[in-house]
Amino acid sequence: MDLFLQALVSGLLRGGLYALVGIGMTLIMGVMKIINLAHGQLMMVSMYITFVCFTSLGIDPYVSLLICMPVLFLIGVIIQKYLLNPLIRVETILPENQVLMTVGIGMVLTETMRFIFTSDYKSVKTSYSNATFFLGNISFSVPLVIDLGFVTLLTWVLFWFLNKTDTGKSIRATAQDKDAAILMGVNSEKITYITFGIGSALVAAAGALLIPIYYLFPDIGGEFTRRAFVICILGGLGSTVGAIFGGITLGLAEAFGATYVAMEFEDVIGLVIFILVLLFLPGGFRRLIKI
């Protein structure tokens, strides 16, 4: 029973972070209708920024959220404005050019980081990295609990932004029906890069929150890109609420898989879920909750 509860707790805590990764991706998916395969790589960049802030400037990872979120927002805006938007105007046979472009961007990001920091494993060891507290027999990792707080806060801010502000409403309108939004006077091009910026900033936050308990090397991005698209498919492409459920489900599945099946199957589980969802629940949780 303790083992079960332990897996449940660590899965939930991790799932919160995954949700943050997934929300960013699903926002981009919803508005631009493209899959951002550079998503994990953006997270990796943010992790390196946090790493540099910590090792050379001594800034705590949680404080460096204030640095890496704006930086990644900017990177996201630049990517969307100068690399992805021009592709819309180009006439091609295949509509997947933008997706392929994100793969290229991901490669450039990974290699740039490998060039600067080499392929060595790095980690940020803060005083609280290994801190835990116990409730009964269940251990809670302190950084993960703090992370969950941040995740809740950021998600709340995001929902407030999407529901209450003009820009947020424009984003939702563009996601629902781009042509209608343009007719209503929404500057859809501006919306696309703001959305990409927000998506990048969210994944940047996930990176900075994760770094105290994780390790870091340039190829880590691919792992999280994969998780992000599994979450998106799970939640239903374009659904932010779905992404939260998707993230938590993936976190739980990984935790239980690692506990009850075998450690090395952790990565495979996400992919198996992916195929199962495509088979039995195409459209993801979105179909169940209608959000």
Q: Which is nearer to another protein, 89 or 164 (CB)?
A: 89
Q: How far apart are CA 131 and CA 111, in angstroms?
A: 33
Residue 96 binds another protein, judged by CB under 8 A? yes
Cβ-contact 124, 212 below 8 angstroms: yes
Residue 44 binds another protein, judged by CB under 8 A? no
Q: How far apart are CA 116 and CA 52, in angstroms?
A: 11
Stretch that binds another protein, among 58-66, 79-87, 150-158, 165-173 (CB under 8 A): 79-87
Q: How far is the CB of 128 from another protein (least distance, A)?
A: 33
Residue 146 binds another protein, judged by CB under 8 A? no
Q: How far apart are CA 16 and CA 2, in angstroms?
A: 21
| Cα torsion 176, 180, 184, 185: sign | positive
Contact with another protein (CB under 8 A): which of 12, 59, 63, 83? 83
Q: Which is nearer to another protein, 108 or 288 (CB)?
A: 108
* Tokens coding 215: 């390790």
Q: How far is the CB of 275 from another protein (least distance, A)?
A: 7
Residue 20 binds another protein, judged by CB under 8 A? no
Q: How far is the CB of 232 from another protein (least distance, A)?
A: 9
Picking from 45, 113, 107, the residue whose alpha carbon sits closest to that of residue 76 is: 45
Residue 277 binds another protein, judged by CB under 8 A? no
Q: Which is nearer to another protein, 90 or 135 (CB)?
A: 90
Q: Which is nearer to another protein, 116 or 184 (CB)?
A: 116
Cβ-contact 48, 287 below 8 angstroms: no
Distances (CA, A) of 178 to 146, 172, 186, 193, 243: 38, 10, 9, 14, 21
* Tokens coding 45: 């960049």
Residues 225-244, one symbol each (x = binds another protein by CB under 8 A, - = not), give -x--xx--x---x-------
Q: Which is nearer to another protein, 251 or 270 (CB)?
A: 270
Residue 285 binds another protein, judged by CB under 8 A? no
Residue 115 binds another protein, judged by CB under 8 A? yes
Rg (CA), the chain: 19
Residue 222 binds another protein, judged by CB under 8 A? yes
Q: Which is nearer to another protein, 5 or 275 (CB)?
A: 275
Q: How far apart are CA 104 and CA 6, in angstroms?
A: 40
CA atoms within 13 A of residue 94's CA, in its CB half-sphere: 7
Using DSSP bridges, classify how beta strands 132-135 and 215-216 pair: parallel, antiparallel or unpaired. unpaired
Residue 120 binds another protein, judged by CB under 8 A? no
Cβ-contact 208, 47 below 8 angstroms: yes
**Interface with another protein (CB under 8 A):** 33-35, 37, 83, 86-87, 90-97, 99-101, 103-108, 110-112, 114-115, 222, 226, 229-230, 233, 237, 264-265, 267-268, 271-272, 274-275, 278-279, 282
